[in-house]
Amino acid sequence: MKKKCWTCIGLSKRQICLLDEISKKCRFTGGRKLCRTSIVRAFLKAAGKLDIDVSRVRSGEELRERLLESFRHYRS
Which pTM does this prediction carry? 0.81
Higher pLDDT, 6 or 60: 60
Under a CB-based contact definition with an 8 Å cutoff, are residues 24 and 33 in contact?
Answer: yes
Residues 6+ apart with CB under 8 A from 29: none
Q: What are the residue boundaries of the structural domains of the chain, listed by start?
A: 13-75
Nearest residue to 71 (alpha-carbon basis) of 55, 49, 38: 49
Stretch 46-65: mean pLDDT: 94
Report pLDDT digits (tens) over 14-33: 999 999 999 999 999 999 99
What pLDDT is attached to residue 25?
A: 97
